[in-house]
Copies of this chain bind each other. A is one copy, B any other.
Amino acid sequence: MKIVVDGYGGDNAPYEIVKGAVQAVNQDKDLEVIITGNEEALKHIIAEFYSGARITIVDAPEVITCEEVPTIAIRRKKNSSLVKALTILKEKDVDGFVSAGSTGAVLAGGIFTLGRLNGVKRPALAPVLPTMKGGNVMLIDCGANIECKVEHLVQFAIMGICYMQAVYAIANPKVGLLSNGAENEKGSDLIRTTNSSLRAMDINFAGNVEARDIVSGDYDVIVADGFNGNIALKSAEGTANMVFAALKEEIGKSFKAKIGALLMKSSFKALKKRLDYTEYGGAAFLGVLKPLIKTHGSTKAKSIAASILQAKKMAESGITAKLDKQLKKYFGNE
Contact = CB atoms under 8 A, between A and B. Distances in A.
B180 A231 contact: yes
Nearest to A217: B242
A239 interface: yes
A216 B275 CA distance: 19
A271 B261 CA distance: 14
B238 A213 contact: yes
B271 A187 contact: no
Contact of A143 (B180, B257, B275): B180
A236 interface: yes
A104 to B, nearest CB: 9
Interface in A222-281: 226-228, 230-243, 245-247, 250-251, 253-254, 256-257, 259-264, 266-268, 270-271, 274-275
Interface string A206-225: 00001111111000000000
A264 to B, nearest CB: 4
23 contacts: A147-B189, A179-B227, A180-B231, A211-B232, A212-B241, A213-B238, A215-B242, A227-B228, A228-B228, A235-B235, A236-B236, A240-B243, A247-B267, A250-B271, A251-B264, A251-B267, A253-B267, A254-B266, A257-B264, A257-B266, A260-B264, A263-B263, A264-B264
